[in-house]
Structure 1
Amino acid sequence: MKDKKFHLSIVFTIVVSYISIKFIDNYQYFFGVFRLLLSLLTPFVIAFILAYIFTPIVNFLEVKLKFKRVFVLLITYGMLLLLLASFILFTAPIIISSLADIVNQLPLYIQKTQDFLIEIGNSLKNVDPNTLKEIGDKFMAAMPEISNLFIGYLGQIFTTTFSISKFIAQFVLAFIICFYIILEKESFFSFYKKLLYITLGKKYAQLTLDVGHTLNTNIGKYFTGKIFDSFIVGLLSAIGLYFIKSKYSLLFGTLIGVMNLVPYFGPIIGMTPVVLINLFYDPSIALLSLIYLLLVQQIEIAFIEPKIVGGQLGLSPFLTILAVTVGGGFFGIPGMILSVPIMGVIKIYLSEFIEYKHKGMNL
């Protein structure tokens, strides 16, 4: 009997090793399949995120209006379409015009940068000529690599253009899926609950439901609160930049609002182009813009975010940065945004587990 178990363990080890080797040898194929699967599931992920945003609105209107859910959903979607139409008619043309102007002004930015470098060069006339020659030679040697990098970025721009078209199609599909998720959410949950009890048993099914409920609560509150918080930050930024007479105030306000969804790194990414582009026109406006945006961030951290988003996650800066880094590395900006509430849930259950084990050891 022992020999039989030993032989089975050897066979199992050989099979696992063979599969692992084949997976490593063909990892590109498997990652390609995984990326394709993620791409196919993207509309459903977006739909669930939208459901988090719309469900509180639908629940509120359902109670207040006492209409059937399908009519409440149609009203909600109608309001959303009205907001989108208003944005497209009044805001989008200004943003697109600003983007086009930035592209047109690129030669000017390059020329001013060159003039600045020439001024630095003139100020370095007293430096040893051999040193300058050495720096110049290194720069010229790097030019082919810079050129290839630039060509690569151009290709990336075209790829991104097509990706945006694909994303818009996925977003439209996500809105349709979201409609049916909210319309039949009780049926979905009932089916999901029965499936868990059948496959996992009562104990682990209940644990999964508890984790799901905690995750749902955290993501729902955090995500909806963070969107409203970022809208206020974007609005304050756009208004302040307009009165400071910053270039492209509406475009920059929108960018800051969107990037504010990403903790820690987002505000820095949002502020950088504001300061850099204004430097080409008026350094004093660039400095005022930086001071104002830093002030808005401090107001957001001290007053806006605690009131709207709340401190229910209780994450330290270290855990937040870790979550954003890992989430962004795997799933980009959506991963950065969603990683924080997910890390909050992991922290809750990990803390409970550690406390339980610690009490057990004391006993």
Structure 2
Amino acid sequence: MELRKHKKIILFGLVLSCGIIFILAYFLSKSFNTIVNVMIISFILSYTLSPIRDTFIIKFKVSKRAASILVILLILGIVASCIIVIVPALFKEITNVSNIFDNISNFMDEVFRKFNLNNSTVSNVVYNEFLERGNELWVTFTENSVDNLIGFSDNIISFAIIPIVIYYFLCDGNKIYNKILLFLPTEKRGLVKKFLYNIDKVLTRYITSQLFLSGLIGVLTFILLVVLKVKFPLWISILNAILNIIPYFGPIFGAVPAVIVALLDSPIKALWVIIGMFVIQQLEGDILSPKITGDSTEMHPLVIIVLLLIGEKFGGFIGMVLVVPIAVIIKALYDDINYYLF
């Protein structure tokens, strides 16, 4: 009798909590979305960083709290270094962005003069249209950058909390996990633990494979940029490695900053960067990614490409990053349900 009463109290508490959450979501949708985003981002980052925390625990023989602090300090140090080193340099180079269009214009003039295209109506129309589209793209990019910067500054306090939330996830993740399991019936906890264990195993394999692939692409990009003497080779390589988390499409996104920076020097250098990045993309897309990503997820490359297109349609860049891990989780659940229940 007491047990049934206790369960009713818990059920009432859950219903009441859900009701309060939905009310808050209705009246404070923007603030609620920010809170949810902070929690989701913190959980994903803490889950990704947990292998580094475990490595610190084993290598330095420290407690979980100390290892978590070391991980947070490491990430904050990397972010601070990027801000201190890259941002001032980028603002300095942005003042010279007109050089890009001047270099392209001079290059096109030289090509036109060399092949006697100055008197061709078609070539002149194409030339003017190209410059006009380039200016439109730059104006759009500038406006979007300003809007994104304003949006980030509005939520800067919320995002500043992320390292603290990550710390607690890294330190007390197991405690939170065990507390959540208490809401389940005793006889179901073992089955749920098996489900979550298998999801964790598959997801860890996928994340490890993507980090390895991203690191390899980052190294290849760095070598290419150093050989071609492109500015900011280290930071562009790191950015390309991060973008490469998106299978197949990542190298395309990562090539854009390298090409833009190369254009500050000359169109010829930008052309060589395009060729080099294309070779890296072919290596990644045709050889490495199908093998590494396909083996880690046990999905056909065509399925992954379709998932990426769906993720981009519904969630943009974030959707492309998250859609494959979500699919991995759903696949692991499907396999487990088939195995344990049917």
Which TM-score applies when normalising by structure 1?
Answer: 0.67
Cα deviation digits, residues 47-73 of structure 1 (max 9, x gap): 111221332233344355554322332
Which residue among 171, 191, 204 is the counterpart of 1:183?
171
Query: What SS does the aligned partner of 1:160 have?
Result: helix
Long gaps (5+) in structure 2:
1-24
For the structure 1 residues 148 and 267, does the alpha-carbon distance in structure 2 shift closer, same or farther, using more than 3 Å as the test?
A: closer
Which residue does the alignment assign to 1:19? none
What is the alpha-carbon distance in structure 2 between the residues aligned to residue 67 and residue 352 of structure 1? 36
Which residue does the alignment assign to 2:117? 123
Contact preservation (8 Å) 1:98, 1:251: no
What is the alpha-carbon distance in structure 2 between the residues aligned to residue 176 and residue 170 of structure 1? 11
Which residue does the alignment assign to 1:213? 197
Which residue does the alignment assign to 2:96? 105
What is the alpha-carbon distance in structure 2 between the residues aligned to residue 33 and residue 318 of structure 1? 41
What is the alpha-carbon distance in structure 1 between the residues aligned to residue 123 and residue 237 of structure 2? 42
Which TM-score applies when normalising by structure 2?
Answer: 0.70
What is the alpha-carbon distance in structure 1 between the residues aligned to residue 38 and residue 273 of structure 2? 38
Contact preservation (8 Å) 2:243, 2:251: yes
Matched, 1:172 2:160: yes
Which residue does the alignment assign to 2:69? 74
The residue type equivalent to 1:323 in the other structure is L
Long gaps (5+) in structure 1:
1-29
Which residue among 242, 246, 249 is the counterpart of 2:230?
246
What is the alpha-carbon distance in structure 1 between the residues aligned to residue 256 and residue 26 of structure 2? 34
Which residue does the alignment assign to 2:310? 326
The residue type equivalent to 2:47 in the other structure is Y
Percent identity over the alignment?
A: 23
Query: What SS does the aligned partner of 1:57 have?
Result: helix
The residue type equivalent to 1:326 in the other structure is I
What is the alpha-carbon distance in structure 1 between the residues aligned to residue 204 and residue 30 of structure 2? 26
What is the alpha-carbon distance in structure 1 between the residues aligned to residue 163 and residue 170 of structure 2? 11
Matched, 1:157 2:145: yes
For the structure 1 residues 109 and 37, does the alpha-carbon distance in structure 2 shift closer, same or farther, using more than 3 Å as the test?
A: same
Q: How many residues align?
A: 312
Cα deviation digits, residues 282-335 of structure 1 (max 9, x gap): 444334323433444455568876998782202222221222222233333332
Cα RMSD (Å) of the superposition? 4.4
Which residue does the alignment assign to 1:286? 270
- Give, in angstroms, the shift of residue 178 of structure 1: 1.8
Contact preservation (8 Å) 1:48, 1:178: yes
Cα deviation digits, residues 224-262 of structure 1 (max 9, x gap): 442353234224312331222224433432331221111
- Give, in angstroms, the shift of residue 186 of structure 1: 2.5
What is the alpha-carbon distance in structure 2 between the residues aligned to residue 132 and residue 58 of structure 1? 59
What is the alpha-carbon distance in structure 1 between the residues aligned to residue 48 and residue 333 of structure 2? 25
Matched, 1:257 2:241: yes
Report the more deviating stretch, 98-107 or 257-266.
98-107
Structure with the greater alpha carbon radius of gyration: 1
Cα deviation digits, residues 115-135 of structure 1 (max 9, x gap): 5677769837455xxx999x7
Which residue does the alignment assign to 1:44? 39
